[in-house]
Amino acid sequence: MKNLYLIEDDEDILELMFIILESKYNYEFTKSIKYIIDNPNVIEKADLIVTDFLSEDLTCEILINTFPHKKYLIVTAYPKDNLTISKLITNKNVKFLQKPFNISDFENYIELML
């Protein structure tokens, strides 16, 4: 079973992700990008990191630049044409899904990336 790491500070979105993922994947989560930066060992086994763009005044750009070998799905309300996001998604290991999202789109992106 593949391992996902979720970074999301919205309780409702996080709960929805749990429901979608619980029977198909192993997953861990945090509400903070800073937590991952301070504790990098927690994502060692992650096959995919599903992250919000902004968490506690840090963007996922720092995460992607710090751990460039990982795969990322950015799930955010920010638009795809945001300057930083548009730059990040040029990386083949980074995909983008805008909130609110369709459940099947979320599932499809995860399957595609794994």
Ordered structural domains, the chain, with CATH: 3-113 (3.40.50.2300)
Q: How confident is the model at residue 77 (pLDDT cuts 50, 70, 90)?
A: very high
Query: DSSP code of 82?
Result: S
pTM of the model: 0.93
Mean pLDDT computed over 11-40: 94
Report how far residue 65's alpha carbon sits from residue 67's, in angstroms, rounded to the nearest whole number: 6
| Burial environment of residue 72 by CB neighbours within 10 A (0 to 12, 13 to 18, 19 or more) | buried
The pLDDT of residue 57 is above 90: no
Q: Give me the residue label for tokens 């861990």.
A: 28
